[in-house]
Amino acid sequence: MSLTGTSVPLGTTSSQESIYLDSAPDLYIQDSRGSYRFNPDSDGFYWGMSGSATYPVYKIGCFSDFKWGDDLTTNDILCDAAGVQGVIQKRGSMHVGFTLKSLFPLSILTHLIRAGTVTSNATDGAEKMGIGDVTRKNLYWKAYFTKLYDEEASDFLAITLHKCQFVDSWEIAMPYGDNWNIPLQLRAFVDTSKPSAQQIATVIRVDTSVIV
């Protein structure tokens, strides 16, 4: 048998597209009790947000160092005779990290740093916020971040995290000659009310020129 041309795989293959994403997405949060834009869509996927007076959508302002990652627990399958044969993998949560540079208004910041209810006083032209114990310990958010990567064709990638909390202690860096900033961590947990394959997140890509 001739070996000519056998350096490439035989049979059905799939190749990745030459489409590259850059820059951070737009980030939104909403009380997890708020409505989805699709609840679910025609394929059974829960994603997006629909704001209301009771559960408004908050757009997060200027930030840097945006990261979305996996919190995966792995345990080796160890055989005494043959060594490690594989791993048991369990995804219990995911996380989003970013450094917030836009601190105002306080009425949005308070949700990110787990502070108190903000009072707006039009007479004083002031926002007033107290910080005490974390009072809403059972508050969960939905997080939605989306990247429009072809404005003309409206092609985008969108990720919805269903049940999140801001975790870890925070501190505001106040460097001389630079903007104040706060590194924040948002953790996404399992939402058992969703289908098993979507219990942490739902990822949607819309690109009608490629997906047919």
- pLDDT above 90 for 23: yes
From residue 122, give the alpha-carbon distance in Å to each of 53, 107, 126, 128, 190.
20, 14, 7, 11, 41
Residue pLDDT, tens place only, 161-178: 999 999 999 999 999 999
pTM (2 d.p.)? 0.90
Interatomic CA distance for residues 179 and 209, integer angstroms: 41
Q: Are 188 and 93 in contact (CB under 8 A)?
A: yes
Interatomic CA distance for residues 70 and 62, integer angstroms: 24
Question: What is the structure's pLDDT at 212?
Answer: 78
DSSP class of residue 131 equals -
Specify the higher pLDDT residue, 136 or 39.
39
Residue pLDDT, tens place only, 173-195: 999 999 999 999 999 999 999 99
- pLDDT above 70 for 1: no
- Of 115, 68, 72, nearest to 95 by C-alpha is 68
Residue pLDDT, tens place only, 43-53: 999 999 999 99
- The alpha carbons of the chain give a radius of gyration, in whole angstroms, of 22
